[in-house]
Amino acid sequence: MSTAAQGAPSLRWSLVVPVKVLARAKTRMSAAAGPHRAALALAVAADTVAAALRCPLVDDVTVVTDDPLPAAELAALGARVVPDEPDAGLNPALAHGARRAREAAPAAGVGALSADLPALRPAELATVLAAAAAVPEAFVPDAAAVGTTLYTARPGTVFAPAFGGASRAAHRARGVRELLLDGTDSVRRDVDTPADLRAALVLGTGPRTAAVAALLPGLAGDAPRPAR
């Protein structure tokens, strides 16, 4: 067994979570969420960050956002919040957050985590991060097997996420290790559409998402149990 594999489970992680300005978030939920769209976007991000902070392998979460409302709420949960200084798109924002995270914890691995995982379970995230620790770079595809919900880089590895569009194919083409692990559905279940939200509610979302979903016509009865 290699030294990396032997030490993999004990590697600590810093996660970077990008959060859009709420006025531009969850646009594909406009018809279903109506006046609750911004509240839903904030609830989903807050449940994601809260779960990530409870993961036993995560030491800190850095949120990159230019919106003062999620900045305040996510900081209150315990996240470090930094502005999107590059203001050049998603991947530059993630790289900026990763630089700040590595300044604070240079011995930790760094991961970019989608802000759209309201059913995220800390134990399932830990399973994925333990596996990611054994390779220089890794990623988790979304439930549709098109995008990416988590990208990781070990200490000393260049942090180069390729989020956006068909990011699964982009990460695979670059040789990043794909992680498809049993029992980690909550790490893959991102929410962009009403169908995604229904699927997350079946898994069991965090309390903030469940509360907003209860206000949405057609979704109020789709939350049989909380995730945590």
Q: How far is CA 10 from CA 5, 60, 72, 118, 127, in A?
A: 10, 15, 31, 26, 12
β-strand partners of 17: 63
Confirm or deny that 152 is annotated as ligand binding.
no
Asked if residues 183 and 127 have their Cβ atoms less than 8 Å apart, the reply is: yes
Question: Where on the phi/psi map is residue 42: left (φ > 0), alpha (ψ -120 to 50), or beta?
Answer: alpha
- Residue written as tokens 């054994």? 134
Confirm or deny that 164 is annotated as ligand binding.
yes
- Residue written as tokens 């209150």? 76
Distance, in Å, from the CA atom of 215 to the CA atom of 207, rounded to the nearest integer, reads 13
Binding residues: 148, 164, 167
Task: Please state the residue numbers annotated as binding site for phosphoenolpyruvate.
Answer: 148, 164, 167
